[in-house]
Amino acid sequence: MRIFERVRSVGPAIIVAAVVLGPGSILASSRVGAEWGWAGVPFLVLAVVLMVGMVALSARLGVIYKGSMCDEIAARLGRKAASGVGIVLFGIVALYQSSNNLALGVGLEPLFEHEGESLPRGWVRWQVLILLIANSVIISCLYLMRSLYAAVERAMKILVLLMIGAFTVNLLAAVLGDAPERNAPVMEKRDWLPVIALVGTTFSIGGAFFQSYLVREKGWNIRNLHQGTFDSAVGVAVLGGVSGVIMITSLLVFYRVPGAPGSIQISALASQLEPLFGSGSKYVFCGGFMAGAMSSFMVNAAIGGTVLSDSIGKGASMQGRWARHFTALALVVGMLVAIFGIIWKESRDSLMLGAQALTVFGIPALGLAMLYLATRPELTGNQRVPRLLKLIAVAGILVAVLLSALKVASWF
């Protein structure tokens, strides 16, 4: 009964898992499974281990310090340093929010595609309308909800369950369907970019950073340290498990199969499951994909808005007035950038490069901020951060720097 109660009380890390397991992570898992096969699994395991450690560290920092992360940074390094952290994270969130907006339209495309036919005329206008309606609804809810954290936690648990159900059905379809012939040669030169994307989207230091804010919203204190560790393990295990299911499904369907597309798109993955579920397979897959997009969509903006509000001294609660204003601003910026990309398709690459460029400088900085707070000499006794978590933080920062370097190298 005690275990059931602990699982029921899991919340903050589930929210982090929901925002990390967005459309980019879903597509990256599919690409790695299709191109790398079982060789891609160790990369996912590495990312999950690093993410568990960073989320557990962030949760610990959230309960052992009296102030929030940015308040503690401001007290030691000055308000400008704290503001820098908030601005960097807000910039990353606002730009990446555009990919969540694009995913709303992309995730619906298979439902409107028919064999041998393209998307209906005027689809671009429909995509723009979908984005306007979705953002308007979410911004309205943002200001109407009194207890924002409780509402978000409930919504994320529902969406995560929907993702688990949808992608598990997809895996069963791949296992129970006719096994394809795998006589295509293994590629001599594999593309590392999907692996970089998989590790980068699974091991999200930005999402881990926000865990400290979520445990404070939950009302946890030093007595909840064990619950925080358990919550971190369960939440990230859900993230890794769903990514693993997607990867295995893709490798069962596409890996070394002659004629399999080199770039796995949503419509391609959904259509390959038709032998068992017929035309209904695309509804199952798209349901899971849209749940992933919406879960990331809803919380991603709140991360940027809350941390920016805290960094400039305007409050560290999701319920705060300034946190809501900045969250709405992140939603609007992401929507406008996505609409720009939809209308002028040639600008999409430039938009993504801009987001990646900011990540190069921002993500390692967040990890260093967490490590700095974890190594303060005043943390003694039960407040002391275990050496294992510090080592994982160092390893995570090094991985983040490596990923950033690889991204920069891929531009040239």
Write out pLDDT tens, residues 84-102.
Answer: 889 888 887 877 787 778 7
CB neighbours of 196 closer than 8 A, spacing ≥ 6? 403, 406, 407, 410
Give the dihedral sign, CA 317/320/323/324.
Answer: positive
Q: Is the pLDDT of residue 30 over 70?
A: yes
Compute the average pLDDT of residues 275-299: 67
Instruction: Please tell me the predicted confidence (pLDDT) of residue 406.
Output: 73
Q: What H or E segment, with its residue span, contains residue 271?
A: helix 266-271
Structure tokens at 58: 């962030």
Instruction: Please tell me the predicted confidence (pLDDT) of residue 356.
Output: 47
Instruction: Label residue 349 by pLDDT band (50, 70, 90).
Output: very low
User: What are the contacts of 175-182 at 24+ separation with CB within 8 A?
Assistant: 175/252, 176/276, 177/273, 177/275, 177/276, 178/275, 179/252, 180/253, 180/257, 181/257, 181/258, 182/255, 182/256, 182/257
- Cα–Cα distance for residue pair 21/243, rounded to 1 Å: 8
CB neighbours of 343 closer than 8 A, spacing ≥ 6? 124, 128
- Cα–Cα distance for residue pair 39/54, rounded to 1 Å: 25
Instruction: Please tell me the predicted confidence (pLDDT) of residue 188.
Output: 63
Compute the average pLDDT of residues 282-286: 68
Q: Is the pLDDT of residue 266 over 70?
A: no
Compute the average pLDDT of residues 307-321: 88
Instruction: Please tell me the predicted confidence (pLDDT) of residue 1.
Output: 39
Question: What's the length of the chain?
Answer: 412
Q: Is the pLDDT of residue 277 over 70?
A: no
**Residues 34, 264: contact at Cβ < 8 Å?**
yes
Q: What is the CATH number of the domain that holds 363?
A: 1.20.1740.10
Instruction: Please tell me the predicted confidence (pLDDT) of residue 151.
Output: 66
Q: Is the pLDDT of residue 261 over 60?
A: no
- Cα–Cα distance for residue pair 17/13, rounded to 1 Å: 6
Instruction: Please tell me the predicted confidence (pLDDT) of residue 79.
Output: 92
Instruction: Please tell me the predicted confidence (pLDDT) of residue 351.
Output: 52
Q: What is the pLDDT of residues 169-223, one digit of tens each?
A: 777 777 776 667 777 766 666 777 788 878 877 887 888 888 888 888 777 777 7
Amino acid making up residue 14? I
**Residues 266, 285: contact at Cβ < 8 Å?**
yes
Closest CA to 35 of 203, 164, 185: 185
Compute the average pLDDT of residues 4-28: 61
Instruction: Please tell me the predicted confidence (pLDDT) of residue 394.
Output: 92
Burial class (CB in 10 A: 0-12, 13-18, 19+), 121: exposed
Instruction: Label residue 5 by pLDDT band (50, 70, 90).
Output: very low
User: What are the contacts of 71-77 at 24+ separation with CB within 8 A?
Assistant: 71/310, 71/313, 71/316, 72/373, 73/369, 73/372, 73/373, 74/311, 74/313, 76/372, 76/376
> For residue 157, what is the DSSP state?
H
Instruction: Label residue 402 by pLDDT band (50, 70, 90).
Output: confident
Domain span holding position 123: 2-410
Q: Is the pLDDT of residue 113 over 80?
A: no
- The number of folded domains in the chain is 1
Please give the backbone phi and psi of residue 109, each rounded to the nearest 5 degrees, phi first: -55, -45
Burial class (CB in 10 A: 0-12, 13-18, 19+), 49: middle
**Residues 208, 54: contact at Cβ < 8 Å?**
yes
Instruction: Please tell me the predicted confidence (pLDDT) of residue 308.
Output: 93
- Cα–Cα distance for residue pair 361/349, rounded to 1 Å: 19
Give the helix ranges, DSSP H, for 278-386: 281-311, 321-343, 348-374
CB neighbours of 209 closer than 8 A, spacing ≥ 6? 58, 69, 89, 307, 366, 369, 370
Instruction: Please tell me the predicted confidence (pLDDT) of residue 329.
Output: 93
